[in-house]
Amino acid sequence: MAATNLSRRSLLTVGSVGLVAGVAMLSGCAPTPSAAAKSGALVTALSNVPVGGSFNVDLDGNALVISQPTAGVVTAFSSICTHQGCKVGGRDGVLLCPCHASEFSITTGAPTTGPATTALAKLEVKIDGPNIVVA
């Protein structure tokens, strides 16, 4: 097996990228889904999102959870848990992380039960006829 020789600069660059990613994950930073979403972009059909529940979708490479807390009111959040990056989904009227049992409000995305302490990143959406679209 041939050994790979890394220059000091390459090693420091790779180490720095890893350190920044690790600090971002531990600090509760989550990707903001609105960065890639264009106004008017179709998110999903309103019929896919039960009242009091949620529906997971992928929009332009962003994992999202769409909720309908009450009839005719929709919200959208990153489905990436702010604790350690697991994918949250809806259950019993909350957004639940299966990895460490953090719970988030389906209305605000704020954590209601830890260990997560940071809200899920929000994407502004609206109802447009039978669909949910980016606002």
According to the model, what pLDDT value does residue 36 have? 53
Q: Which burial class, exposed, middle or buried, applies to 68 when counting CB atoms under 10 A from its CB (0-12, 13-18, 19+)?
A: buried
According to the model, what pLDDT value does residue 9 have? 46
According to the model, what pLDDT value does residue 29 have? 46
* Distance, first Cα to last Cα, the chain: 55
Fold assignment, 30-134:
Rieske Iron-sulfur Protein (2.102.10)
Dihedral through CA 33, CA 34, CA 36, CA 37, nearest 10? 110
Residuewise pLDDT in 10s, the chain (135 residues): 455 454 544 444 444 333 333 433 444 444 455 445 688 899 999 999 999 999 999 998 899 999 999 999 999 999 999 999 899 998 888 999 999 999 999 999 999 998 999 999 999 999 999 999 999
Alpha-helical runs (H) found in the chain: 8-26
Cα 47 from Cα 129, distance rounded (Å): 11
Cα 96 from Cα 81, distance rounded (Å): 9
Q: Coil, strand, or helix at residue 61?
A: coil
Residue length, the chain? 135
According to the model, what pLDDT value does residue 22 have? 40
According to the model, what pLDDT value does residue 129 have? 96
**Phi and psi for 34 in degrees, rounded to 5?**
-70, -15
Give pTM, 2 decimals: 0.73
- Domains of the chain, by residue range, sit at 30-134
